Structure formats: structure tokens, C-alpha cells
Amino acid sequence: MNDRSVLNIQTLPENETERQFYFMDKAAGYVETLAQELGRKPTCCVTTFGCQMNARDSEKLVGILRKVGYEIIENENADFVIFNTCTVRDNANQRVYGRLGELKGFKRRNPKMKIALCGCMMQEPSVIEKIKKSYNFVDLLFGTHNIFRFAELLCSVFEQEDMVIDIWEGTDSIVEDLPVERKYPFKSGINIMFGCNNFCSYCIVPYVRGRERSREPKDIIREIENLVADGVVEIMLLGQNVNSYGKNLDNPISFAQLLQEIEKIEGLERIRFMTSHPKDLSDELIQVMKESKKICRHLHLPLQAGSTEILKVMNRRYTKEQYLALAEKIRREIPDMAITTDIIVGFPGETKEDVDETIDVIKKVQYDNAFTFIYSKRTGTPAAAMEQVPEALVKENFDRVLKTVQETARERVARYEGQVCDALVEEVNENDASLVTGRLSNNTLVHFPGDASLIGKIVNVSLDECHGFYYMGHMV
Ligand code: SAH
Ligand code: SF4
Ligand code: F3S
């Protein structure tokens, strides 16, 4: 699929970054004309669904929209609206369709309004067909592989009446140095790799994000150095499986080695990363985490299921026993490490007894938090063709898992009550403006008296009272 307007390639810079800056200039001209027509600065709104990868992608979109002259607002009644979509579970898709219906009303009242859809859902051909048929008021569709071409696509939207559709099946390119606008001045996500090669049998991500590609360490380091110079103290390294980072680079390097390089960056205070696949978590990484002063005491280690049989069909490539041994090793080496996880309930063939195994792992590992999902059938994945579990059984099992998670996590999170810990202040509390909210190294939140001047600072907080998943405290 490639409906883009034909370009005169000779006049364009060959280097992809320069090429996109060329289109940003051009788009700025279109936005300027629109501003004159409207008699005000045009507004835009980027709405993000899904994971931190998508959140980071949205920051790239906002960076370009700001550069070409849009005013960024949080209201979808804007001159340009983009939905950056997720398709990991069906409810993510349904939310997008619901919100699209609302946009139709806005567009009726503002005929100059432009609507774009991008992200993981767009990589599914059935979704493109549905939008063409039932949502033909949308102006632009693009996918995950060509997001770096956003400025160019934006120009096409101004030049073309019909829906602009540009979906790529894959890409080897990683385009550096395009504008980004961070949501938070003091913390940032950073892509260290794109795509996934694991093909867990329930998961659509490898199909919509393509094969695994790692960024060059020097590009990652340079980006972090620039961020730190710009006020960032905490970074989150992003990848679907950070533990396999660097294996396919021309000069291979391990994730643990990359972390050691990042640790040396002066002014950087905290390092987080997401996500660690248990099958690839090395002893080297455990040692590096143990010795690090900057790597946060939080490891997200998705279990998915506790039954070895189910894990096998899921293609997770570890057994219950291997997972437990790994968690135990981490606890032994780094006792203050918070471990969180993802769990799927209702995978095809999962019995009550299988779920008992999951519950057994939750009790043994004592997670600080666990995100529990009901299995969602994704078209094109191997699990979609397997026999599905009856809804009533899934519901019953889901409730049992959730109850166990809540009970164990409550106990686990409370273990620091009365202690003093470092917290990075993130925002003024939404419900009570006399409080601010800080994040501990182990990812737990603490609310305490303070004001906006503390935002972005790391302060010492006494954790006075644990309320389930968060603390109330005071600064010391
Ligand atoms: N790369 C990460 C996970 C990315 S998706 C990892 O491997 O851990 C985030 C979470 O969504 C997964 O951990 C899984 O628990 C959940 N998930 C993925 N596909 C799903 C599906 N089809 N139904 C329900 N949950 C799913
Ligand atoms: Fe999906 Fe598995 Fe890849 Fe995670 S590792 S993104 S669950 S296929
Ligand atoms: Fe969703 Fe895509 Fe992330 S499917 S979870 S937004 S990689």
C-alpha cells in the first residue's frame, strides 16, 4: 500500500534526517497559511494508546508538530488530531473506534480539521480496510515503521484531498536526530531497540513492530548526554526485550555493557529499563545492577503464566522452575529489588490447575505489583487458532489471580514503612494541591506536602504510612 503523492526526488536531500527537515520547512509554510485563514495559531492534539514505546513515539510526533507551528493542546477538538494506537489487546482497538466516532462530530463543526491515525493498529490490513470503509473522514494513516517520515506525510495531507495511506511492511532504518518534545522535563524514555523476535504465541507485537533492531551504543549515549544537559535526571531504556540488546549489531555488545557505559554519564541520576524477558536475563546483568549506583531497584520481569505446560505453548522458552530460580537469584543478590510482572489469564487450554501454578509463583516471588490481563485473541497469532477457554472459567480464574496479587503486593510494598528513601518529585498531586507525588527508586509512589518548585528534584522522604500500592510521607 503506498498512496503517497509522487515527489520530485532529485530536489530532495538524500540523508533521511535532512530530508525530513526539508519537509518540516515545507509543512511550516502550509501551517502558516492555515494560521492566516483561521486568524489564529492552529492547534493539535496527540492521543496515545498503549505502552511506553508508543508514548515515546508520540513525543516525536509532538516535536515535529511544534516545530512546524502548531500549538499543542490536550483537547481533541483541535485543528489536527492524531491517535497513536495500540493493538495488543482487543479493548485497546475498541477504545480507538469509540473515540473516532467523537472526532467525527468535531470535524463536522470544523471542516478544516485533519485527523491522523498511526501506531500498531495500522499495521493490520483488516484495520485499514475497516477505516477506509467506515471512517472515511480520516485524513492520514501511517504505521510504526515510517513514523520518521511524519513531516513528509503531513505535507501530503495538505496537498491531497483523498485519505493519505502509507503503511510499510518493515524497515531496517533507524533515523536519528529528529525533533522530540518530552512530556516531562526531568525524565525521558529512550528507545534502545525496536521490534521483537520472540513470537510469543499470543502476541501481536512482532507482527506490528517488525524484527528486532538495536540502536548503536554511541547514538544512545549521545542522546542521553543531550537529555542530561537539558535537565533530565532519570531515563527509561525502552525495548520489547532489552536483555537481547546489541546481539545483532556489527560490533555486538551486551545490555549489561551498555548499562555500564550509561552509568558513566555525569549528571544522570537514575536508570530504568523495560522490558526484561526472563529467558535472556544474564548473570552479568544481575552483577551490573547490583554494583550500580544509578540503576533503580525495580525489575519488571513478565511471568505470563506459572504453568510450565502453558509457558511452552506460549513459546516463552522458560519453565516455572527456571523462572522461580531466576527470581530467587535476583532476590539473593539484590534484596531490595522490587520485582513486578505481567500475567495473562485465560490463554487457550489453561485449566484451573494451571492457574493454581500461577498463583503459586505469585506467592513465592512476592511481587511488588503485577499487571493481570485477560487473554485477548489476536488475529494472525498462533494462539488465535487454538481452542479458547470458556468466559466463565476465565473470569473466575482472573479474580483468583487478582486477589492473590493484591494480598501479596500489599504486604511487600509496606515493608519500607518508617524508613527514609529518595524520591524524584514528578508532579503536584492531582487531588490535593498541597501535596506532591514522588517516585521511589523501586517505582512505588509517595505523596507528601510540598509545592511545584520541587518538581524534578530528588529529595529525602520519610515513608510514614503505606496505603496499598503507595505511601503518604513527609520530606526530611
Ligand atoms: N515485550 C514485553 C511485553 C509487551 S506487551 C514482554 O515480553 O514482556 C505487554 C503485556 O501485554 C505482555 O507482557 C502480556 O502480558 C500482555 N499481552 C500481550 N499479548 C496479549 C494478549 N493477546 N492478550 C492479553 N494480554 C497480552
Ligand atoms: Fe510480545 Fe513476547 Fe515480544 Fe513481549 S517478547 S513483545 S510478549 S512476542
Ligand atoms: Fe500496544 Fe504496540 Fe505497545 S501493540 S503495547 S503500543 S508495541
Q: Mean pLDDT across the stretch 401-411?
A: 94
Q: Which residue's CA is minimally distant from atom 1 of ligand 1?
A: 240
Q: Using CA atoms in the order 4, 10, 13, 15, what is the torsion angle rounded to 10 degrees?
A: 80
Q: Which residue's CA is minimally distant from atom 3 of ligand 3?
A: 51
The atom number, within ligand 1, closest to the CA of 200 reads: 7
Q: Mean pLDDT across the stretch 240-264?
A: 97
- 144-192 per-position pLDDT tens digit: 999 999 999 999 999 999 999 999 999 888 898 899 999 999 999 999 9
Can you tell me the distance from the alpha carbon of 269 to that of 265, in angstroms, rounded to the nearest whole number?
Answer: 9
Q: In percent, how much of the chain has pLDDT > 70?
A: 98
CA of 89 to the centre of ligand 3 (A): 9
Q: Is the pLDDT of residue 5 over 60?
A: no
Q: Is the pLDDT of residue 1 over 50?
A: no
Q: Mean pLDDT across the stretch 122-128?
A: 97
Q: Mean pLDDT across the stretch 287-297?
A: 98
Q: Does the CB atom of residue 371 touch ligand 2 within 6 A?
A: no
Q: Is the pTM of this model over 0.85?
A: yes
CA of 38 to the centre of ligand 1 (A): 44
Q: Is the pLDDT of residue 67 over 50?
A: yes
Q: Mean pLDDT across the stretch 414-436?
A: 96
Q: What pLDDT was estimated at residue 3?
A: 47
Q: What pLDDT was estimated at residue 6?
A: 53
Q: Is the pLDDT of residue 199 over 90?
A: yes
Q: What is the mean pLDDT of the chain?
A: 95
Q: Is the pLDDT of residue 32 over 80?
A: yes
- CA end-to-end span of the chain: 59
Closest CA relative to residue 31, chosen from 22, 43, 19, 20: 43
Q: Mean pLDDT across the stretch 118-141?
A: 97
Q: Which residue's CA is minimally distant from atom 5 of ligand 2?
A: 198
CA of 240 to the centre of ligand 2 (A): 6
What lines the ligand 1 site, CB under 6 Å?
88-89, 202-203, 205, 240-241, 275, 277, 302, 304, 342, 344, 373, 375-376, 378
The atom number, within ligand 2, closest to the CA of 204 reads: 1
CA of 475 to the centre of ligand 1 (A): 37
Length of the chain: 476
DSSP structure string for 255-301: HHHHHHHHHT-TT--EEEEE---GGG--HHHHHHHHH-SSB-SEEE-
Q: Mean pLDDT across the stretch 242-269?
A: 97
Q: What pLDDT was estimated at residue 9?
A: 53
